[in-house]
C-alpha cells in the first residue's frame, strides 16, 4: 500500500487511508451477512420453507437495498448540511451495531417466525448505513485530492470493498477450518459477526481524527449550502442521477455474484466444491479486484474516467461466458483463474467511480447526488442479483442463463457511459449548478 500512497503528503495520506479503513469495516459487516445468507441462513432461519429457503434467504440481501436510497437521502441531506465527517461516524456505528446484533439472533428453531423477522430488520439497518456510507467516504477522499489525482485518491475508499470481502471470507474460512460442519452451523458462523465490535472501535478512532473536506468547509464558510439539496438535484440533474445509477447497476450486478454469495453457494451446493476452497478462491480474486481498482483510479487520471469505465465493461462482456465455463469444471485452480479475470473488469468499472461521481455534481448537492446515484444503482443492479441468478439457474437448469442476465446488465452500463461528460482535472468548486 505504501507504493500507491508514495508522493501523497502525510495529511492527505491520513485522509485516504481513513476513508479506506472505514469503508473496509462497513463492507466487512455487509459481506459476512451476504455470504452467510447462502451458507447458513437458508437452513437456520428459512429452513421450514423447503426448496424456496435459499431463494428467500438471498432475497433478504435484496430487501436491504431498497433502504439504501433512504439512507443516501438522509445522509446526503445531512452531509451537505453539516459535513461529510459527521455522517461517516454515524453510518459506521449503525452498521456495526446491526452486525453484532445479527450474531446474537437465535435460530428459527428457538424463537420461531420472530427469528427471520429480526434478521430482516437488522439487515434493513445495514442497508440504511450502506446507503449513507459510500457518498461520504468517496467525497472525503476526492475533495481532499489535488485536481490531477482525484482518480487515485477516490480509488482508496473503493478498495475498502474488496478488502472487506477479503476479510469477511478470510475470517469465515478460518472459522470453517477450526470447526466441524455441525459446530459451524450451530455457533461458529456467529464469531465473524461478533468480532465487528472490535472493528467499530478501530473505525471510530480513525474517523474521529480526520479533518473535514476543505471543499465543504469553503461552502460552509461562504454560507453557500443548500437548505434542501434534493430539490435542485432532481430539478437540474435528474439525467445525471439516472446515468450514474445505470453505470453502477452494471458493475453491481456482476460484483454481487461473489459479494452477494451466489458463486460461493453455487460452487458448494451445486458443484460440490469444498467450502474452504471456495472462500480461498474468492479471497484471491478480492486481491486482484483491489489492485485493478487502484490501477483503474490511476488510469482514470491519465485517460479519463469514462474511457476506463468502458474498458472495464468490455472486459466484463468478453469474460462473462468463459467465467461460468471455468466455474463449472469444479477445479480449484480454474475457479481461481475465472474469478481473478472476472475481478479485473470489476476493478476498472469501480476505481474511477468516486472521481466521476464527484465531478458530476456541484459541492452543495454533491453528497446527495453521488449517494443517491450509487444507492439507486445498487437497487437496480445488486439488490436481487443473487436471487435472480438462483431463480434463473433453477428454472433453466443452466448457469449460462445467469451469464446472459449479467451480459445484458453490462451492455446497459456501457450504453449509459456514452451519455456522461468527463471532467478530469477541473476544479471541484468550479462545477456549476445549472442544468446538464
Which residues, 6+ apart, have CB-to-CB distance to 154 below 8 Å? 138, 141, 142, 145, 297, 351, 352, 353, 354, 355, 358
Lowest mean pLDDT among 35-39, 66-70, 182-186: 35-39
Which residues, 6+ apart, have CB-to-CB distance to 259 below 8 Å? 31, 34, 161, 165, 382
Q: What is the largest CA-CA distance in the chain?
A: 62
pLDDT grade for 212, boundaries at 50, 70 and 90: confident
Give the model's pLDDT for residue 199: 82
Positive or negative, the Cα torsion across 350, 20, 154, 95?
Answer: positive
CA 377/CA 256 separation, integer angstroms? 12
pLDDT beyond 50 at 265? yes
pLDDT grade for 63, boundaries at 50, 70 and 90: confident
CA 307/CA 315 separation, integer angstroms? 12
Give Cα 183 distance to the centre of its chain.
30
Q: What is the mean pLDDT of residues 181-205?
A: 88
Residues 2-430, CATH architecture = Up-down Bundle (1.20)
120 phi, psi to nearest 5 deg? -65, -40
Average pLDDT, the chain: 85
The three-class DSSP label of residue 331 is: coil
CA 198/CA 189 separation, integer angstroms? 17
Q: Yes or no: say if 294 and 4 are a contact pair by the CB < 8 Å rule.
A: yes
Q: What is the pLDDT of residues 128-174, one digit of tens each?
A: 888 888 888 888 888 888 888 889 999 999 998 889 888 887 888 88
Lowest mean pLDDT among 204-213, 215-224, 247-256: 215-224
What percent of the chain is predicted at pLDDT more than 70? 91
Q: Is 167 left (phi over 0), alpha (psi -120 to 50) or beta?
A: alpha
Give the model's pLDDT for residue 434: 43
pLDDT grade for 228, boundaries at 50, 70 and 90: low
Q: Yes or no: say if 98 and 60 are a contact pair by the CB < 8 Å rule.
A: no
CA 279/CA 357 separation, integer angstroms? 32
pLDDT beyond 80 at 300? yes
Lowest mean pLDDT among 13-17, 288-292, 356-360, 385-389: 13-17
Through-space distance between the first and last CA atoms of the chain, rounded to whole angstroms: 38
Give which of 327, 338, 320 is closest to 404, Cα–Cα: 320
DSSP type of residue 360: H
The three-class DSSP label of residue 350 is: coil
pLDDT beyond 70 at 381? yes
Give which of 222, 70, 79 is closest to 143, Cα–Cα: 79
The three-class DSSP label of residue 406 is: helix
Please provide the DSSP assignment of 172-236 as one string.
Answer: HHHHHHHS-HHHIIIIITHHHHHTHHHHHHHHHHHHTTSPPPHHHHHHHHTT---SSTHHHHHHH
CA 66/CA 120 separation, integer angstroms? 12
Give the model's pLDDT for residue 49: 64
Q: What is the mean pLDDT of residues 349-356?
A: 93
Which residues, 6+ apart, have CB-to-CB distance to 420 below 8 Å? 240, 243, 244, 247, 306, 356, 360
Amino acid at each position: 500500500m505504501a507504493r500507491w500512497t508514495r508522493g501523497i503528503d502525510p495529511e492527505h495520506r491520513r485522509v485516504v487511508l481513513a476513508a479506506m479503513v472505514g469503508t473496509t469495516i462497513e463492507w466487512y459487516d455487509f459481506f459476512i451477512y451476504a455470504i452467510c445468507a447462502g451458507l447458513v441462513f437458508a437452513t437456520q432461519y428459512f429452513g421450514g420453507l423447503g426448496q424456496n429457503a435459499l431463494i428467500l434467504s438471498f432475497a433478504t440481501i435484496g430487501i436491504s437495498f431498497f433502504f439504501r436510497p433512504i439512507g443516501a437521502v438522509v445522509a446526503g441531506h445531512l452531509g451537505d448540511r453539516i459535513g461529510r465527517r459527521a455522517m461517516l461516524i454515524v453510518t459506521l456505528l449503525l452498521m456495526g451495531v446491526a452486525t453484532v446484533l445479527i450474531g446474537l439472533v437465535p435460530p428459527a428453531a428457538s424463537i420461531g417466525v420472530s427469528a427471520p423477522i429480526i434478521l430482516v430488520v437488522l439487515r434493513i439497518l445495514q442497508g440504511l448505513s450502506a446507503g449513507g456510507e459510500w457518498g461520504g467516504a468517496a467525497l472525503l477522499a476526492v475533495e481532499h485530492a489535488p485536481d490531477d489525482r482525484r482518480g487515485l485518491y477516490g480509488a482508496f475508499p473503493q478498495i475498502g470493498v474488496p478488502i472487506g470481502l477479503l476479510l469477511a471470507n478470510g475470517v469465515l474460512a478460518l472459522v470453517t477450518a477450526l470447526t466441524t460442519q455441525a459446530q459451524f452451523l450451530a455457533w461458529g458462523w456467529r464469531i465473524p459477526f461478533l468480532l465487528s465490535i472490535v472493528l467499530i472501535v478501530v473505525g471510530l478512532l480513525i474517523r474521529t481524527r480526520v479533518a473535514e473536506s476543505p471543499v465543504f468547509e469553503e461552502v460552509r464558510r461562504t454560507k453557500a449550502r443548500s437548505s434542501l439539496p434534493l430539490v435542485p438535484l432532481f430539478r437540474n440533474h435528474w439525467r445525471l442521477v439516472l446515468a450514474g445509477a445505470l453505470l453502477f447497476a452494471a458493475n453491481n450486478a456482476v460484483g454481487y455474484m461473489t459479494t452477494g454469495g451466489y458463486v460461493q453457494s453455487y460452487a458448494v451446493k451445486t458443484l460440490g466444491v469444498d467450502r474452504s476452497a471456495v472462500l480461498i478462491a474468492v479471497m484471491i480474486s478480492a486481491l486482484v479486484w483491489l489492485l485493478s481498482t487502484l490501477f483503474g483510479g490511476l488510469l482514470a487520471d491519465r485517460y479519463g474516467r469514462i474511457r476506463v469505465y468502458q474498458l472495464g465493461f468490455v472486459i466484463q462482456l468478453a469474460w462473462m461466458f468463459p467465467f461460468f465455463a471455468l466455474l463449472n469444471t469444479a477445479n480449484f485452480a480454474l475457479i481461481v483463474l475465472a474469478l481473478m479475470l472476472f475481478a479485473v473488469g470489476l476493478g476498472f468499472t469501480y476505481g474511477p467511480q468516486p472521481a466521476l461521481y464527484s465531478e458530476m455534481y456541484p459541492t452543495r448537492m454533491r453528497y446527495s447526488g453521488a449517494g443517491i446515484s450509487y444507492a439507486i444503482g445498487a437497487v437496480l443492479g445488486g439488490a436481487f442479483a443473487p436471487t435472480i441468478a438462483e431463480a434463473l439457474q433453477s428454472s433453466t437448469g443452466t448457469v449460462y442463463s445467469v451469464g446472459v442476465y449479467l451480459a445484458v446488465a453490462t451492455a446497459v452500463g456501457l450504453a449509459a457511459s456514452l451519455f456522461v461528460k468527463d471532467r478530469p482535472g477541473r476544479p471541484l468548486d468550479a462545477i456549476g449548478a445549472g442544468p446538464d
